[in-house]
Amino acid sequence: MNLLENPILRIKEFISVGGPVVALLLCVSVIALAVILFKAWQFSVLRVGKGQRTLAVLNSKSEIALGHSLQQLNSMSGYSAQIASYAIGLKQAEASQSYQRRNTEEALALAAAIQIKSLQSGFRALDSIAQIAPLIGLFGTVLGMITAFQALQQSGNSVDPSILAGGIWVALLTTAVGLAVAMPTSIALTYFESRVEDHRLALEQIIAAVLSPVSDGSKRTPNAIQMAQHQAAVHAH
């Protein structure tokens, strides 16, 4: 059976053979596809998980020149640039003593949490579809086997293998459709979750770059591990 040849007719044949279970799975697959396409569009527009350009702008400017960074960030699109611009505004308010450092960190943490929450919208629907679709297929399998054995019982001594094969065909079809809906949905959900995790890490780096900026002309401050190693070497000597 070639699905690419007159797909509408093939879908009608699937529904006529598989019954309401296959029809339900096809409706679920349409919902999953709509959510996946929307999330793909959203992630592309908001440049989720791609904060390298924003970090490059922040790391190339000193604290005094953060105003120039703000101009560049305002011309950029995406969630990373938005959170960086917001962080710089809070940092400038903190420098003018109109805002406390603790309030700055809390406001940035809240803004980052709101971004992550908006990106995760629709994930629960995809997760539910990935879990429910195989169960719906299994339910169709059970119904198909019940139909097959009922027909077998009614046939009495004259057993017709085609009667049993028809029920088994329906059972296998519903199982296959359920798995065909669940597997791509699960893969798409895993991909989106990894992109959100990358974006979360980028936000942490952006916030750290704004709150603790590094000037271009100076050397970068060693991290905590390097400082600990240096102190250990000094004590050893």
pLDDT, tens digit, 9 for 90 and up, residues 14-43: 666 667 888 899 899 999 999 999 999 999
pTM to 2 decimal places:
0.73
Confidence band (pLDDT; 50, 70, 90) for 209? confident
Tokens 């990106």 correspond to what residue? Answer: 119
pLDDT at residue number 121: 92
Confidence band (pLDDT; 50, 70, 90) for 179? very high
**For residue 235, pLDDT beyond 60:** no
- Amino acid code (one letter) for 44: S
CA dihedral 90, 92, 95, 100 (to 10 degrees): -10
Which tokens belong to 137? Answer: 């297929």
Higher-pLDDT residue of 61 and 166 is: 166
pLDDT at residue number 132: 95
Could you tell me what percent of the chain has a pLDDT over 70?
A: 66
Contact in structure between 168 and 142 (CB atoms under 8 Å): no
Query: For all residues of the chain together, what is the average pLDDT?
Result: 76
- What average pLDDT does this structure show over 125-152? 87
